[in-house]
Amino acid sequence: QVQLVESGGGSVQAGGSLTLSCAASGEIGDISYMAWFRQAALEREREGVAGILNGGHATHYSASVKARFTISQDNAKNTVYLQLNSLKPEDTGVYYCAARKDFGDVLNPVKYSYWGQGTQVTVSS
């Protein structure tokens, strides 16, 4: 099993920044890809925002966050980060970290087997 623990959420004003962290533990040797998703409300689907190939050689972003968010990885700490800049009220939601042991369709939540508990990000106007 793989355990993922997110941290770093909070409340900020529009234009502000936050850094989210996702610490991975357990059977992480076969993880090939990690990503961040967000869910604006329980009745809405989770939206893929950014992903990173294990080793950091490739990253992917949704159009809505590209140039504002940056995903990175610290292999020594088994941690993936998501830097959120120029935040907008529509970025509000619960942000989830996810991991998988294969590759393809990288921002599709149904492709991921392992999930964290989520961390709340609230952006006020």
Q: Is residue 44 over pLDDT 90?
A: no
Q: Nearest 5°: CA angle at 35, between 52 and 72?
A: 45
Residue 43's pLDDT band, with cuts at 50, 70 and 90, is: confident
Share of the chain above pLDDT 90, in %: 90
Write down the mean pLDDT value for the chain: 95
Cα maximum dimension of the chain: 42
Q: Which of 40-54, 76-90, 107-121 has the lowest mean pLDDT?
A: 40-54
**100 beta partners:** 33
Residue pair 5/59 in contact by the 8 Å Cβ criterion: no
